[in-house]
A and B are shown apart, each in its own frame.
Chain A
Amino acid sequence: MADKKSGANLWDIFLQFLIIGAISFGGGIIAYERILLVEKRKWLNADEFMAYLAISQTMPGLNSVNLAVLTGDFLRGVAGSVCAVLGLLLPGSAFILGIGILYSSNSNHPMANIILAGIAAAATGLLAAITYRIGGDHWRHMKSLAIVLATFVLMSLFKLSLLAVLAIMAPIALYLYRPGKSI
């Protein structure tokens, strides 16, 4: 994987990630990125894509952004990374900033508050659904379910800081999942 592919030009990297950043309403960015990288431009093969996705998921930060960082670097080094991330973030940032300015000036409007209450309720339902789906098999295995529950209790009921929760849970989980241990 170490050899850089020279075929991709920076403008194209920026433009292709910009398109993903603009059309990915409702999530699913990883899927769009896979279509771009593996099928549309064939910049990566399926194995390379999975390897980069795995690193993206291991490192802190948003998986879709980390994937843009890694594949941009693979294609064109630092400049490739910067182009991919800027493209991915630009459309959504403009959208959010526009709405943010509207929200700041209208947030006490009674009608706006009713609409926002409905939107917030749905966003909660959406987050619950995503959490359930991402949880996948972790809801069924005793070991991972215990870690899920312990993390939730420390964070939400004991109200520890995130740093403290990670300092407690990460070593325990890493010990339980150390190489050679099954899931």
Chain B
Amino acid sequence: MNILIQLGLNFVLLSLLAVGGGTAVLPEMQSILYAHFGLDHTQFVHMYSIGQLAPGPNMLMVLMIGYQIAGLAGAGIVLLAFFLPSSILCFYVGRLWVRIGESPWRRAVQNALEPISVGLMASGVYAVGKASIVSPLTAGLALITLYLILRTKINPVIVILGSGLVATLITQFL
């Protein structure tokens, strides 16, 4: 029971701090899960990566984390704790905004938060990269993916699955 409350409170906080989208909280989520719930960085990165294969919002992978830590109840708690607080906040602020109309401060807040959220995403790349790029092969696969996503219109799901396949073939047959 205690672990569910702790899990819920941590994800409520992450929900409300997720400026500019879910990926901004990746590094914080990784360190909280390691420090308080014993989830190691490799497991975290595995779950994050699998989450990229699912349809829908990319941070639904938090369900998997909740399940891994505390079973189905954990998954349910994390789903509510991560998506409900920010949604309720957005609901009420949205109504307020529609009533008072567009203010120069909304643009100012968005302009100010954008570079912060990009910085946090860069920290996310660093955190995820440290746990996932562990060999010349994984470094190569990450770079090829970066190139393909930036230069082509190929669906990321295909690239990610292809990378898993290539890693398997190379490790098995070379």
Inter-chain contact A127/B79, CB cutoff 8 Å: no
Q: Are B90 and A70 in contact, with the CB atoms below 8 A?
A: yes
Interface residues of A in 18-37 (CB under 8 A from B): 20-27, 29
Give Cα A180 to B171, complex, Å: 57
Q: Report the minimum CB–CB distance from A86 to chain B (whole Å).
A: 10
A138 x B94 contact (CB < 8 A) = no
- A95-126, CB under 8 A of B: which get 1 and which 0? 11101110110010001001111111111111
Interface status of B3 (Cβ within 8 A of chain A): no
Partner of A131, one of B105, B113, B122: B122
- Residues of A within 8 Å of B166, CB to CB, are 118
Out of A2, A92, A178, name the residue touching B99 (CB < 8 Å): A2
Contact of A127 among B23, B56, B110, B118 (CB under 8 A): B23
> Which has the most chain A C-beta neighbours within 10 Å: B22, B46, B158?
B46
- Interface: B5 (CB within 8 A): no
Q: Kindly state the interface size class of chain A when it binds its partner.
A: 35 or more
Chain A, interface SS category:
helix
Determine the chain A residues whose CB is within 8 A of the CB of B56 once the complex forms: 20-22, 24, 29, 88-89, 91-93, 95
Total A-B contacts with CB atoms under 8 angstroms apart: 352
Shortest CB-to-CB span from A67 to chain B, Å, is 9
Chain A interface residues (CB < 8 Å from chain B): 1-2, 20-27, 29, 51-52, 54-66, 69-70, 73, 78, 81, 85, 88-89, 91-93, 95-97, 99-101, 103-104, 107, 111, 114-135, 138, 144-145, 147-152, 155-156, 159, 161-163, 165-166, 169-170, 173-174, 176-181, 183
25 A-B residue pairs with Cβ-Cβ distance under 8 Å, sorted by A, are: A20-B56, A25-B157, A26-B52, A58-B110, A60-B19, A61-B22, A61-B89, A70-B91, A70-B94, A100-B75, A114-B171, A116-B49, A119-B161, A123-B48, A124-B142, A125-B146, A131-B125, A138-B118, A144-B115, A151-B122, A162-B14, A162-B120, A170-B112, A174-B108, A180-B104
Q: Measuring CB to CB, which residues of chain B are less than 8 angstroms from any residue of chain A?
A: 13-23, 25, 27-28, 31, 43, 45-61, 63-64, 67-68, 75, 79, 83, 86-87, 89-91, 93-95, 97-99, 102, 104-129, 131-134, 137-139, 141-147, 149-150, 155-168, 171-172
